[in-house]
Amino acid sequence: MFVLLEGHAGESIDARGKSGKDIPLFGRIVTIADVFDALISKRAYKESWGEERSLEEMIKAKAAIFDPELLDHFLLRLPLIRQIRERYKEKDAAEAK
């Protein structure tokens, strides 16, 4: 699998075969958000892991999978992330009724 991302000036960035800081910043940020959402969310093929377990696993994989500095920023922003999740969770539940 490869990812083509749009850079700062609209140019395409090929992320194939890249690692560490060579991966575009956008890709490193989205990876953290996507993994967190996937772990805490119930899916047709799995139950939710819950926030505590999800964060523990992400921290264990900090240097291997995630940009450690960006994961630290993510963890510092958890209160805000929780507020956003709660705001949209209520909206989604109300629309489902």
Give me the residue spans of the domains in the chain.
23-96
Report the C-alpha gap between 77 and 61 in whole angstroms: 19
**How many C-beta neighbours within 10 Å does residue 66 have?**
19
Residue 86 exposed, middle or buried by CB count within 10 Å (0-12, 13-18, 19+): exposed
Give the tens place of pLDDT for each residue, 43-70: 999 999 999 999 999 999 998 999 999 9
What is the pLDDT averaged over residues 3-32? 72
pLDDT at 89: 81
pLDDT at 90: 60
- Is 59 or 9 the better-scoring residue by pLDDT? 59
Confidence of residue 21 (pLDDT cuts 50, 70, 90): confident
Confidence of residue 17 (pLDDT cuts 50, 70, 90): confident
Backbone conformation region of residue 14, classed left if phi is above 0, alpha if psi is from -120 to 50, else beta: beta
Residue 31 has pLDDT above 80, yes or no: yes
Report the C-alpha gap between 23 and 36 in whole angstroms: 19
- Is 78 or 97 the better-scoring residue by pLDDT? 78
pLDDT at 3: 44
70 contacts 28 by C-beta, under 8 angstroms: yes
